Amino acid sequence: MTQLPIDQRGAWRALATHAETMRGVHLRDLFAAATGRHAAYTRHAAGLTLDLSKQRWSDETFALLLDLAREAGLPEASRALLDGERVNVSEDRPALHTALRLPADALLVVEGEDLVPGVHATLDRMATMVERFHAGQWRGATGKAIRNVVNLGVGGSDLGPLMVTHALADYRPEGVHRIEVHFASTMDGSQLADYLSRLNPETTLFVLSSKSFTTIDTLSNARTARDWLMSRLGQEEGVDDGLVMRQHFIGVSASPEKMNDWGIAPDHQLEFWEWVGGRYSLWGGIGLPIALVVGMGNFRELLAGAHAMDRHFREAELADNLPVLLALAGIWNVNFLDIRAHSILPYDGRLEYFAAYLEQLEMESNGKSVTHDGREVGYSTCPVLWGQLGPNAQHAFYQLLHQGTQAVECDFIAPLVRYDDVTDEATRDHLMSQHRLTLANCFAQSRVLMLGDDAVEDDGPRPGHKRYRGNQPSTTVLLERLTPATLGALIALYEHKVFVQATIWEINPFDQWGVELGKKIAGETQRILESHQGLEAMDDSTRALIEAVWQAERAAETGLR
Protein backbone atom coordinates (compact mmCIF):
# COMPACT_ATOMS: atom_id res chain seq x y z
CA MET A 1 0.00 0.00 0.00
CA THR A 2 1.44 3.44 -0.90
CA GLN A 3 1.94 5.75 2.04
CA LEU A 4 0.02 9.00 2.04
CA PRO A 5 2.26 12.10 1.80
CA ILE A 6 3.46 13.11 5.28
CA ASP A 7 1.20 16.20 5.44
CA GLN A 8 -1.88 14.05 4.95
CA ARG A 9 -1.14 11.67 7.79
CA GLY A 10 -2.32 11.71 11.42
CA ALA A 11 0.42 13.51 13.34
CA TRP A 12 0.87 16.28 10.76
CA ARG A 13 -2.87 16.92 10.67
CA ALA A 14 -3.05 16.93 14.46
CA LEU A 15 -0.18 19.42 14.56
CA ALA A 16 -1.93 21.62 12.00
CA THR A 17 -5.06 21.72 14.16
CA HIS A 18 -3.06 22.30 17.34
CA ALA A 19 -1.12 25.13 15.62
CA GLU A 20 -4.34 27.06 15.14
CA THR A 21 -4.53 27.63 18.89
CA MET A 22 -0.77 27.99 19.41
CA ARG A 23 -0.39 30.70 16.75
CA GLY A 24 -2.16 33.20 19.00
CA VAL A 25 -0.13 32.34 22.10
CA HIS A 26 2.72 34.66 23.08
CA LEU A 27 5.97 33.22 24.46
CA ARG A 28 5.67 35.39 27.57
CA ASP A 29 2.35 33.68 28.33
CA LEU A 30 3.90 30.24 27.95
CA PHE A 31 6.56 31.23 30.49
CA ALA A 32 3.99 32.84 32.79
CA ALA A 33 1.76 29.75 32.66
CA ALA A 34 4.32 27.24 33.89
CA THR A 35 7.44 27.24 35.98
CA GLY A 36 10.23 24.86 35.07
CA ARG A 37 10.09 25.44 31.31
CA HIS A 38 13.86 25.48 31.15
CA ALA A 39 14.18 22.06 32.78
CA ALA A 40 11.33 20.65 30.70
CA TYR A 41 12.88 21.63 27.37
CA THR A 42 16.62 21.42 28.01
CA ARG A 43 18.80 18.41 27.19
CA HIS A 44 22.54 17.65 27.41
CA ALA A 45 24.88 15.45 25.37
CA ALA A 46 28.53 15.34 24.25
CA GLY A 47 29.50 18.54 26.10
CA LEU A 48 26.56 20.50 24.69
CA THR A 49 23.42 21.87 26.29
CA LEU A 50 20.38 22.50 24.15
CA ASP A 51 17.84 24.88 25.65
CA LEU A 52 14.61 24.82 23.65
CA SER A 53 12.47 26.48 26.30
CA LYS A 54 12.12 29.67 24.26
CA GLN A 55 10.40 27.83 21.40
CA ARG A 56 6.73 28.70 20.98
CA TRP A 57 5.55 25.28 21.94
CA SER A 58 3.79 23.42 24.75
CA ASP A 59 3.91 19.88 26.11
CA GLU A 60 1.17 18.96 23.65
CA THR A 61 3.18 20.35 20.74
CA PHE A 62 6.22 18.44 21.93
CA ALA A 63 4.30 15.15 22.13
CA LEU A 64 2.73 15.64 18.70
CA LEU A 65 6.10 16.44 17.13
CA LEU A 66 7.50 13.23 18.56
CA ASP A 67 4.53 11.40 17.02
CA LEU A 68 5.40 13.05 13.71
CA ALA A 69 9.00 11.83 13.96
CA ARG A 70 7.81 8.28 14.64
CA GLU A 71 5.22 8.43 11.88
CA ALA A 72 7.96 9.55 9.44
CA GLY A 73 9.92 6.43 10.41
CA LEU A 74 12.75 8.41 11.96
CA PRO A 75 14.27 5.68 14.15
CA GLU A 76 14.50 3.34 11.14
CA ALA A 77 15.80 6.12 8.89
CA SER A 78 18.60 7.06 11.34
CA ARG A 79 19.64 3.45 11.61
CA ALA A 80 19.69 3.18 7.80
CA LEU A 81 21.90 6.27 7.59
CA LEU A 82 24.37 5.13 10.23
CA ASP A 83 24.50 1.54 8.98
CA GLY A 84 25.39 2.61 5.45
CA GLU A 85 22.22 1.90 3.51
CA ARG A 86 21.85 3.73 0.20
CA VAL A 87 19.98 6.69 1.70
CA ASN A 88 21.17 9.03 -1.09
CA VAL A 89 18.54 7.69 -3.43
CA SER A 90 19.07 9.92 -6.48
CA GLU A 91 22.77 9.01 -6.56
CA ASP A 92 22.20 5.46 -5.34
CA ARG A 93 24.78 5.47 -2.56
CA PRO A 94 25.14 5.68 1.21
CA ALA A 95 25.96 8.93 3.02
CA LEU A 96 28.62 7.81 5.45
CA HIS A 97 30.31 10.90 6.85
CA THR A 98 29.73 9.27 10.24
CA ALA A 99 32.10 6.45 9.20
CA LEU A 100 34.91 9.01 8.96
CA ARG A 101 34.77 9.53 12.72
CA LEU A 102 34.47 5.94 13.89
CA PRO A 103 37.26 4.85 16.22
CA ALA A 104 39.91 2.52 14.80
CA ASP A 105 38.56 -0.51 16.67
CA ALA A 106 35.00 -0.08 15.35
CA LEU A 107 33.51 -2.30 12.71
CA LEU A 108 31.25 -1.02 9.96
CA VAL A 109 30.53 -3.57 7.28
CA VAL A 110 28.73 -2.02 4.34
CA GLU A 111 27.83 -4.18 1.37
CA GLY A 112 30.36 -6.78 2.46
CA GLU A 113 33.28 -4.44 3.23
CA ASP A 114 34.51 -3.12 6.58
CA LEU A 115 35.05 0.60 5.91
CA VAL A 116 36.96 1.43 9.08
CA PRO A 117 40.46 0.25 8.03
CA GLY A 118 40.35 2.40 4.85
CA VAL A 119 39.20 5.44 6.81
CA HIS A 120 42.03 5.04 9.32
CA ALA A 121 44.59 4.36 6.60
CA THR A 122 43.76 7.81 5.18
CA LEU A 123 43.95 9.40 8.62
CA ASP A 124 47.36 7.78 9.11
CA ARG A 125 48.56 9.13 5.76
CA MET A 126 47.34 12.56 6.80
CA ALA A 127 49.20 12.17 10.08
CA THR A 128 52.42 11.35 8.22
CA MET A 129 52.03 14.42 6.02
CA VAL A 130 51.25 16.71 8.97
CA GLU A 131 54.25 15.35 10.86
CA ARG A 132 56.50 16.19 7.91
CA PHE A 133 55.19 19.75 7.74
CA HIS A 134 55.47 20.23 11.50
CA ALA A 135 59.02 18.92 11.50
CA GLY A 136 59.94 21.50 8.83
CA GLN A 137 60.71 18.60 6.53
CA TRP A 138 58.24 19.34 3.76
CA ARG A 139 60.48 21.34 1.48
CA GLY A 140 59.75 23.35 -1.63
CA ALA A 141 61.60 22.87 -4.91
CA THR A 142 64.50 25.09 -3.80
CA GLY A 143 64.94 23.19 -0.56
CA LYS A 144 63.30 25.67 1.83
CA ALA A 145 60.74 24.41 4.36
CA ILE A 146 57.10 25.09 3.43
CA ARG A 147 55.57 27.80 5.64
CA ASN A 148 52.35 28.73 3.86
CA VAL A 149 49.66 26.34 2.70
CA VAL A 150 46.87 27.69 0.50
CA ASN A 151 43.72 25.58 0.29
CA LEU A 152 42.11 25.87 -3.13
CA GLY A 153 38.55 24.61 -2.89
CA VAL A 154 34.97 25.85 -2.77
CA GLY A 155 31.73 24.90 -1.01
CA GLY A 156 32.30 21.85 1.17
CA SER A 157 35.95 21.79 0.14
CA ASP A 158 36.43 25.23 1.67
CA LEU A 159 33.78 26.19 4.22
CA GLY A 160 34.31 23.31 6.67
CA PRO A 161 38.11 23.60 6.95
CA LEU A 162 37.88 27.40 6.93
CA MET A 163 35.34 27.42 9.75
CA VAL A 164 37.17 24.87 11.91
CA THR A 165 40.70 26.26 11.48
CA HIS A 166 39.37 29.63 12.57
CA ALA A 167 37.40 28.21 15.50
CA LEU A 168 40.31 26.15 16.83
CA ALA A 169 43.19 28.54 16.15
CA ASP A 170 43.94 28.53 19.91
CA TYR A 171 44.74 24.83 19.69
CA ARG A 172 47.95 25.09 17.71
CA PRO A 173 50.45 22.59 19.11
CA GLU A 174 53.60 24.10 20.60
CA GLY A 175 57.13 23.39 19.52
CA VAL A 176 56.38 22.57 15.90
CA HIS A 177 57.34 24.30 12.67
CA ARG A 178 54.44 26.73 12.22
CA ILE A 179 52.36 26.46 9.07
CA GLU A 180 50.10 29.38 8.09
CA VAL A 181 46.97 28.15 6.35
CA HIS A 182 45.04 30.31 3.86
CA PHE A 183 41.88 29.74 1.85
CA ALA A 184 41.11 30.79 -1.71
CA SER A 185 37.73 29.82 -3.08
CA THR A 186 36.36 32.46 -5.42
CA MET A 187 36.61 31.83 -9.15
CA ASP A 188 37.39 35.49 -9.79
CA GLY A 189 40.82 34.97 -8.24
CA SER A 190 40.49 37.86 -5.75
CA GLN A 191 41.72 35.93 -2.73
CA LEU A 192 44.38 34.07 -4.68
CA ALA A 193 45.75 37.23 -6.33
CA ASP A 194 46.21 38.70 -2.87
CA TYR A 195 48.14 35.67 -1.63
CA LEU A 196 50.28 35.55 -4.75
CA SER A 197 51.28 39.14 -4.19
CA ARG A 198 52.32 38.43 -0.59
CA LEU A 199 53.63 34.88 -0.37
CA ASN A 200 57.04 33.51 -1.26
CA PRO A 201 56.67 30.78 -3.91
CA GLU A 202 59.67 28.92 -2.49
CA THR A 203 57.83 28.26 0.79
CA THR A 204 54.23 28.01 -0.42
CA LEU A 205 52.28 24.82 -1.11
CA PHE A 206 48.77 24.50 -2.53
CA VAL A 207 46.21 21.90 -1.46
CA LEU A 208 43.77 21.24 -4.30
CA SER A 209 40.60 20.23 -2.49
CA SER A 210 37.82 19.04 -4.72
CA LYS A 211 35.72 15.94 -4.31
CA SER A 212 34.92 15.84 -8.03
CA PHE A 213 38.15 17.48 -9.23
CA THR A 214 36.06 19.10 -11.97
CA THR A 215 34.95 22.28 -10.21
CA ILE A 216 35.89 25.17 -12.49
CA ASP A 217 36.30 27.61 -9.57
CA THR A 218 39.00 25.46 -7.99
CA LEU A 219 40.65 24.37 -11.22
CA SER A 220 40.94 27.99 -12.40
CA ASN A 221 42.65 28.98 -9.17
CA ALA A 222 44.86 25.89 -9.38
CA ARG A 223 46.00 26.74 -12.92
CA THR A 224 46.90 30.28 -11.91
CA ALA A 225 48.80 28.97 -8.86
CA ARG A 226 50.68 26.39 -10.93
CA ASP A 227 51.79 28.97 -13.51
CA TRP A 228 52.81 31.39 -10.75
CA LEU A 229 55.00 28.74 -9.14
CA MET A 230 56.51 27.58 -12.40
CA SER A 231 57.32 31.04 -13.67
CA ARG A 232 58.87 32.06 -10.33
CA LEU A 233 60.72 28.88 -9.47
CA GLY A 234 61.49 27.59 -12.96
CA GLN A 235 64.45 29.97 -13.23
CA GLU A 236 66.16 28.54 -10.15
CA GLU A 237 69.03 26.18 -10.73
CA GLY A 238 68.12 22.50 -10.63
CA VAL A 239 64.38 23.21 -10.50
CA ASP A 240 62.10 21.80 -13.17
CA ASP A 241 58.32 21.64 -13.55
CA GLY A 242 58.21 18.07 -12.25
CA LEU A 243 59.90 19.04 -9.00
CA VAL A 244 57.59 22.04 -8.55
CA MET A 245 54.53 19.84 -9.08
CA ARG A 246 55.82 17.29 -6.63
CA GLN A 247 56.86 19.58 -3.81
CA HIS A 248 54.20 22.30 -4.04
CA PHE A 249 50.92 20.46 -4.56
CA ILE A 250 48.78 18.06 -2.56
CA GLY A 251 45.47 16.83 -3.94
CA VAL A 252 42.38 15.77 -1.98
CA SER A 253 39.63 14.19 -4.05
CA ALA A 254 37.41 11.19 -4.66
CA SER A 255 38.97 10.91 -8.14
CA PRO A 256 42.58 9.68 -8.13
CA GLU A 257 42.49 9.49 -11.96
CA LYS A 258 41.75 13.19 -12.26
CA MET A 259 44.42 14.04 -9.67
CA ASN A 260 46.89 11.95 -11.72
CA ASP A 261 45.86 13.72 -14.93
CA TRP A 262 46.44 17.09 -13.27
CA GLY A 263 49.89 15.98 -12.26
CA ILE A 264 49.57 15.47 -8.51
CA ALA A 265 52.17 12.94 -7.32
CA PRO A 266 50.35 9.74 -6.23
CA ASP A 267 51.91 9.80 -2.77
CA HIS A 268 50.75 13.40 -2.32
CA GLN A 269 47.13 12.50 -2.91
CA LEU A 270 44.55 12.02 -0.18
CA GLU A 271 41.60 10.09 -1.44
CA PHE A 272 38.11 9.98 -0.12
CA TRP A 273 35.00 8.18 -1.08
CA GLU A 274 31.95 8.86 -3.22
CA TRP A 275 29.84 8.01 -0.18
CA VAL A 276 31.03 11.19 1.59
CA GLY A 277 29.11 14.28 0.47
CA GLY A 278 31.14 17.46 -0.17
CA ARG A 279 29.47 19.49 2.58
CA TYR A 280 29.92 16.56 4.99
CA SER A 281 33.58 15.99 4.18
CA LEU A 282 35.69 17.96 6.67
CA TRP A 283 36.25 14.81 8.72
CA GLY A 284 38.78 13.22 6.34
CA GLY A 285 41.38 14.42 3.84
CA ILE A 286 39.46 17.65 3.20
CA GLY A 287 40.31 18.41 6.84
CA LEU A 288 44.06 18.49 6.09
CA PRO A 289 44.27 22.29 6.60
CA ILE A 290 42.64 21.80 10.01
CA ALA A 291 45.20 19.19 11.02
CA LEU A 292 48.01 21.44 9.77
CA VAL A 293 46.84 24.14 12.17
CA VAL A 294 45.78 22.14 15.24
CA GLY A 295 47.84 18.98 14.86
CA MET A 296 46.61 15.47 14.31
CA GLY A 297 45.89 14.87 18.02
CA ASN A 298 43.37 17.72 18.11
CA PHE A 299 41.98 16.66 14.74
CA ARG A 300 41.26 13.24 16.19
CA GLU A 301 39.58 14.95 19.17
CA LEU A 302 37.32 16.75 16.71
CA LEU A 303 36.39 13.37 15.23
CA ALA A 304 35.83 11.89 18.69
CA GLY A 305 33.45 14.73 19.62
CA ALA A 306 31.46 14.20 16.43
CA HIS A 307 31.39 10.46 17.09
CA ALA A 308 30.03 11.07 20.60
CA MET A 309 27.15 12.98 18.98
CA ASP A 310 26.65 10.16 16.43
CA ARG A 311 26.30 7.67 19.26
CA HIS A 312 23.90 9.92 21.10
CA PHE A 313 21.89 10.31 17.88
CA ARG A 314 21.72 6.54 17.44
CA GLU A 315 21.03 5.62 21.06
CA ALA A 316 19.07 8.38 22.82
CA GLU A 317 15.29 8.27 22.99
CA LEU A 318 13.62 10.66 20.56
CA ALA A 319 12.44 12.86 23.45
CA ASP A 320 16.03 13.30 24.69
CA ASN A 321 17.80 13.32 21.37
CA LEU A 322 19.45 16.68 20.68
CA PRO A 323 19.51 16.55 16.86
CA VAL A 324 15.93 15.25 16.78
CA LEU A 325 14.66 17.99 19.07
CA LEU A 326 16.54 20.75 17.26
CA ALA A 327 15.06 19.49 13.99
CA LEU A 328 11.53 19.24 15.38
CA ALA A 329 11.69 22.81 16.66
CA GLY A 330 12.57 23.87 13.12
CA ILE A 331 9.74 21.80 11.60
CA TRP A 332 7.27 23.33 14.05
CA ASN A 333 8.36 26.83 13.13
CA VAL A 334 8.54 26.35 9.37
CA ASN A 335 5.53 24.13 8.76
CA PHE A 336 3.09 25.09 11.49
CA LEU A 337 3.92 28.63 12.68
CA ASP A 338 4.93 29.85 9.18
CA ILE A 339 8.33 31.07 10.36
CA ARG A 340 10.51 30.68 7.28
CA ALA A 341 13.63 32.58 8.31
CA HIS A 342 16.32 31.24 10.60
CA SER A 343 19.29 33.16 11.94
CA ILE A 344 22.49 31.61 13.33
CA LEU A 345 24.10 33.81 15.97
CA PRO A 346 27.30 32.61 17.65
CA TYR A 347 28.54 34.66 20.61
CA ASP A 348 32.21 33.79 20.24
CA GLY A 349 34.45 35.40 17.63
CA ARG A 350 36.11 32.07 16.94
CA LEU A 351 32.85 30.90 15.37
CA GLU A 352 32.95 33.66 12.77
CA TYR A 353 32.43 31.29 9.85
CA PHE A 354 29.94 28.97 11.51
CA ALA A 355 26.87 30.61 9.96
CA ALA A 356 28.42 30.51 6.48
CA TYR A 357 29.20 26.83 7.01
CA LEU A 358 25.61 26.09 8.10
CA GLU A 359 24.20 28.04 5.17
CA GLN A 360 25.66 25.41 2.85
CA LEU A 361 24.97 22.48 5.15
CA GLU A 362 21.30 23.31 5.61
CA MET A 363 20.28 25.05 2.41
CA GLU A 364 22.23 22.88 -0.05
CA SER A 365 20.97 19.79 1.78
CA ASN A 366 17.35 20.67 2.35
CA GLY A 367 16.60 23.39 -0.18
CA LYS A 368 14.52 20.88 -2.12
CA SER A 369 10.91 20.65 -3.28
CA VAL A 370 10.69 17.12 -4.68
CA THR A 371 10.37 13.97 -2.60
CA HIS A 372 12.39 10.78 -2.99
CA ASP A 373 9.78 9.44 -5.41
CA GLY A 374 9.66 12.59 -7.52
CA ARG A 375 6.52 14.12 -6.06
CA GLU A 376 6.31 17.92 -5.62
CA VAL A 377 6.03 18.62 -1.87
CA GLY A 378 2.93 20.42 -0.64
CA TYR A 379 4.69 22.16 2.29
CA SER A 380 7.71 24.32 3.02
CA THR A 381 11.14 22.76 3.48
CA CYS A 382 14.40 24.48 4.45
CA PRO A 383 13.93 28.05 5.69
CA VAL A 384 16.13 30.91 4.53
CA LEU A 385 19.07 30.62 6.87
CA TRP A 386 21.71 33.25 7.48
CA GLY A 387 23.72 34.69 10.29
CA GLN A 388 26.91 36.16 11.62
CA LEU A 389 28.58 36.77 14.96
CA GLY A 390 25.79 37.77 17.36
CA PRO A 391 27.56 40.79 18.90
CA ASN A 392 28.21 42.27 15.45
CA ALA A 393 24.76 41.35 14.18
CA GLN A 394 23.30 43.30 17.11
CA HIS A 395 24.64 46.41 15.38
CA ALA A 396 23.49 45.30 11.96
CA PHE A 397 20.32 43.25 11.46
CA TYR A 398 18.89 42.76 15.00
CA GLN A 399 16.68 45.79 14.33
CA LEU A 400 14.66 43.56 12.00
CA LEU A 401 14.52 40.77 14.58
CA HIS A 402 13.15 43.14 17.23
CA GLN A 403 10.85 45.40 15.27
CA GLY A 404 10.60 44.16 11.69
CA THR A 405 7.64 42.40 10.15
CA GLN A 406 9.27 38.98 9.68
CA ALA A 407 9.06 36.17 12.21
CA VAL A 408 12.54 34.67 12.58
CA GLU A 409 13.80 31.67 14.52
CA CYS A 410 17.24 32.29 16.08
CA ASP A 411 19.96 29.94 17.29
CA PHE A 412 22.19 31.50 19.95
CA ILE A 413 25.46 29.61 20.39
CA ALA A 414 28.05 30.29 23.10
CA PRO A 415 30.69 28.61 25.26
CA LEU A 416 30.20 28.98 29.03
CA VAL A 417 33.85 29.51 29.91
CA ARG A 418 36.63 31.18 27.96
CA TYR A 419 40.00 32.78 28.67
CA ASP A 420 40.53 31.16 32.09
CA ASP A 421 43.81 29.74 30.76
CA VAL A 422 45.36 33.11 29.82
CA THR A 423 48.57 33.26 31.82
CA ASP A 424 48.87 37.00 32.41
CA GLU A 425 46.51 37.67 35.32
CA ALA A 426 45.43 41.22 34.44
CA THR A 427 44.73 40.35 30.82
CA ARG A 428 42.92 37.18 31.90
CA ASP A 429 40.60 39.19 34.16
CA HIS A 430 39.83 41.66 31.40
CA LEU A 431 39.20 38.98 28.83
CA MET A 432 37.05 36.86 31.16
CA SER A 433 35.04 39.95 31.89
CA GLN A 434 34.66 40.58 28.14
CA HIS A 435 33.42 37.03 27.77
CA ARG A 436 30.84 37.57 30.53
CA LEU A 437 29.77 40.78 28.77
CA THR A 438 29.28 38.74 25.61
CA LEU A 439 27.22 36.10 27.43
CA ALA A 440 25.13 38.83 29.06
CA ASN A 441 24.34 40.18 25.60
CA CYS A 442 23.52 36.72 24.28
CA PHE A 443 21.11 35.95 27.12
CA ALA A 444 19.60 39.46 27.05
CA GLN A 445 18.89 39.27 23.34
CA SER A 446 17.10 35.94 23.49
CA ARG A 447 15.09 37.22 26.46
CA VAL A 448 14.06 40.45 24.73
CA LEU A 449 13.21 38.57 21.55
CA MET A 450 11.00 36.33 23.66
CA LEU A 451 9.33 38.88 25.97
CA GLY A 452 9.40 42.10 23.97
CA ASP A 453 8.19 45.07 26.04
CA ASP A 454 7.68 42.79 29.03
CA ALA A 455 11.44 42.47 29.48
CA VAL A 456 11.37 45.90 31.19
CA GLU A 457 9.27 47.40 33.97
CA ASP A 458 6.19 49.11 32.58
CA ASP A 459 7.15 52.78 32.52
CA GLY A 460 3.92 54.06 31.02
CA PRO A 461 2.78 54.68 27.47
CA ARG A 462 5.41 54.66 24.75
CA PRO A 463 5.26 55.63 21.08
CA GLY A 464 5.11 52.81 18.56
CA HIS A 465 8.76 53.12 17.57
CA LYS A 466 9.77 52.31 21.15
CA ARG A 467 7.66 49.19 21.43
CA TYR A 468 8.90 45.61 21.08
CA ARG A 469 6.62 42.81 20.01
CA GLY A 470 8.77 39.91 21.24
CA ASN A 471 7.49 36.40 20.59
CA GLN A 472 10.46 35.48 18.33
CA PRO A 473 11.36 31.87 19.13
CA SER A 474 14.95 30.88 19.78
CA THR A 475 17.19 28.00 20.79
CA THR A 476 20.29 28.42 22.91
CA VAL A 477 23.16 25.98 22.41
CA LEU A 478 25.78 26.14 25.15
CA LEU A 479 29.20 24.50 24.93
CA GLU A 480 31.05 23.85 28.18
CA ARG A 481 34.04 25.28 26.32
CA LEU A 482 34.91 25.57 22.67
CA THR A 483 37.28 22.61 22.24
CA PRO A 484 37.99 20.31 19.30
CA ALA A 485 35.62 17.75 20.85
CA THR A 486 32.71 20.10 21.53
CA LEU A 487 33.10 21.70 18.11
CA GLY A 488 32.96 18.23 16.53
CA ALA A 489 29.79 17.50 18.51
CA LEU A 490 28.26 20.85 17.52
CA ILE A 491 28.83 20.26 13.81
CA ALA A 492 27.50 16.70 14.04
CA LEU A 493 24.45 18.03 15.91
CA TYR A 494 23.55 20.19 12.93
CA GLU A 495 24.40 17.48 10.38
CA HIS A 496 21.93 15.13 12.05
CA LYS A 497 19.36 17.88 12.51
CA VAL A 498 19.43 18.33 8.73
CA PHE A 499 18.94 14.59 8.23
CA VAL A 500 15.98 14.44 10.64
CA GLN A 501 14.25 17.32 8.88
CA ALA A 502 14.89 15.77 5.46
CA THR A 503 13.39 12.49 6.71
CA ILE A 504 10.22 14.24 7.83
CA TRP A 505 10.01 16.30 4.63
CA GLU A 506 10.68 13.11 2.60
CA ILE A 507 13.48 14.77 0.62
CA ASN A 508 17.07 13.73 -0.11
CA PRO A 509 19.55 15.89 1.84
CA PHE A 510 22.58 14.35 0.13
CA ASP A 511 22.30 15.49 -3.49
CA GLN A 512 22.45 19.01 -4.98
CA TRP A 513 21.01 18.82 -8.48
CA GLY A 514 19.80 22.39 -8.11
CA VAL A 515 23.31 23.76 -8.68
CA GLU A 516 24.01 21.76 -11.84
CA LEU A 517 21.99 23.72 -14.39
CA GLY A 518 23.67 26.98 -13.36
CA LYS A 519 27.11 25.39 -13.94
CA LYS A 520 26.10 24.18 -17.43
CA ILE A 521 24.63 27.50 -18.52
CA ALA A 522 27.65 29.38 -17.11
CA GLY A 523 29.86 27.21 -19.35
CA GLU A 524 27.79 28.10 -22.43
CA THR A 525 27.80 31.78 -21.51
CA GLN A 526 31.56 31.73 -21.02
CA ARG A 527 32.00 30.25 -24.51
CA ILE A 528 29.96 33.09 -26.03
CA LEU A 529 31.86 35.72 -24.01
CA GLU A 530 35.21 34.37 -25.15
CA SER A 531 34.39 33.42 -28.77
CA HIS A 532 32.01 36.28 -29.62
CA GLN A 533 29.78 33.67 -31.27
CA GLY A 534 26.26 32.49 -30.54
CA LEU A 535 24.95 35.70 -28.97
CA GLU A 536 21.71 35.46 -30.97
CA ALA A 537 20.66 32.43 -28.89
CA MET A 538 20.56 34.58 -25.74
CA ASP A 539 17.60 36.49 -24.35
CA ASP A 540 17.49 40.25 -24.69
CA SER A 541 18.78 40.98 -21.18
CA THR A 542 21.71 38.54 -21.27
CA ARG A 543 22.63 39.76 -24.78
CA ALA A 544 22.86 43.33 -23.53
CA LEU A 545 24.96 42.29 -20.52
CA ILE A 546 27.44 40.42 -22.72
CA GLU A 547 27.63 43.29 -25.18
CA ALA A 548 28.36 45.67 -22.31
CA VAL A 549 31.43 43.57 -21.45
CA TRP A 550 32.65 43.55 -25.05
CA GLN A 551 32.11 47.29 -25.32
CA ALA A 552 34.02 47.94 -22.07
CA GLU A 553 36.86 45.68 -23.23
CA ARG A 554 37.08 47.51 -26.57
CA ALA A 555 37.12 50.85 -24.77
CA ALA A 556 39.88 49.64 -22.43
CA GLU A 557 41.89 48.39 -25.40
CA THR A 558 41.54 51.69 -27.27
CA GLY A 559 42.60 53.53 -24.10
CA LEU A 560 45.73 51.42 -23.88
CA ARG A 561 46.82 52.14 -27.43
* Catalytic annotation, residues: 364, 395, 519
Shortest Cβ 506–ligand F6P spacing (Å): 21
Compute φ and ψ for 353, nearest 5 degrees.
-100, 10
Give the single-character DSSP code of 414.
E
- CA-to-CA distance for 327 and 317, rounded, in angstroms? 14
Out of 157, 203, 335, 381, point to the residue binding ligand F6P (CB under 6 A): 157
- Which ranges of 94-151 would DSSP assign to H, the alpha helix? 116-134
Of 286 and 344, the one with the shorter C-beta distance to ligand F6P is 286
Q: Residue 365 in contact with residue 398, Cβ under 8 Å? A: no
Distance CA 58, CA 56 (A): 7
Q: For the CB of residue 520, give the shortest distance to ligand F6P in the complex, in Å.
A: 12
Q: Using the 8-state DSSP alphabet, how is residue 37 labeled?
A: H
Q: Which stretch binds ligand F6P (CB under 6 A): 100-108, 134-142, 154-162, 233-241?
A: 154-162
Which amino acid is it at 240?
D
In angstroms, the CA 414 to CA 348 distance is 6
Nearest to 415 by CA among 348, 355, 367, 362: 348
Candidate list 84, 94, 155, 285; residue touching ligand F6P; CB under 6 A: 155
Distance separating alpha carbons of residues 33 and 28, to the nearest angstrom: 9
d(CA 255, CA 207): 15
How far apart are CB 58 and ligand F6P at their closest, in Å? 38
Region binding ligand F6P by CB under 6 A among candidate stretches 177-185, 210-218, 478-486, 522-530: 210-218
- Say which amino acid occupies 185: S
* 512 lies in the site for ligand F6P, by CB under 6 A: yes
Minimum distance from CB of 88 to ligand F6P (Å)?
12
Please give the backbone phi and psi of residue 347, each rounded to the nearest 5 degrees, phi first.
-105, 60
The CB-of-351 to ligand F6P minimum distance in angstroms stands at 20
Stretch that binds ligand F6P, among 127-135, 206-214, 398-406, 529-537 (CB under 6 A): 206-214
Give Cβ neighbours of residue 303 (< 8 Å, ≥ 6 apart).
100, 101, 283, 488
Can you tell me which of 215, 321, 366, 476 binds ligand F6P, judged by CB under 6 A?
215
Contact 271, 149 (CB under 8 A): no
Site string for ligand F6P, 110-149 (x = CB under 6 A): ----------------------------------------
The residue range among 150-158, 420-428, 438-446, 468-476 that interacts with ligand F6P, by the rule CB under 6 A, is 150-158
Min dist. Cβ of residue 286 to ligand F6P (A): 8
Q: Per CB under 6 A, does 279 bind ligand F6P?
A: yes
| Separate counts of helices (H) and strands (E) for the chain | 21, 13
Site stretch for ligand F6P (CB under 6 A), options 152-160, 176-184, 461-469, 533-541: 152-160
Q: Are 526 and 187 in contact (CB under 8 A)?
A: no
> Between 106 and 356, whose beta carbon lies closer to ligand F6P?
356
- Kindly state whether residue 212 participates in binding ligand F6P, applying the rule CB under 6 A: yes
Distance of closest approach, residue 14 Cβ to ligand F6P, in angstroms: 36
Which H helix or E strand runs over 476? Answer: strand 474-479
Q: Are strands 204-209 and 474-479 parallel, antiparallel or unpaired?
A: unpaired
Nearer to ligand F6P among residue 111 and residue 257 (C-beta): 257
- Max Cα-Cα span within the chain: 83
User: 58, 210, 365, 394: which one contacts ligand F6P (CB under 6 A)?
Assistant: 210
The answer to the question of residue 218 lying near ligand F6P (CB under 6 A) is yes
Contacting ligand F6P (CB under 6 A), which of 515, 537, 544, 548? 515
Judged by CB under 6 A, the residue of 47, 84, 140, 156 near ligand F6P is 156
Cα 330 to Cα 501: distance, rounded to the nearest angstrom? 8
Q: Which residues bind ligand F6P (CB under 6 A)?
A: 154-157, 210-212, 215, 218, 278-279, 364, 512, 515
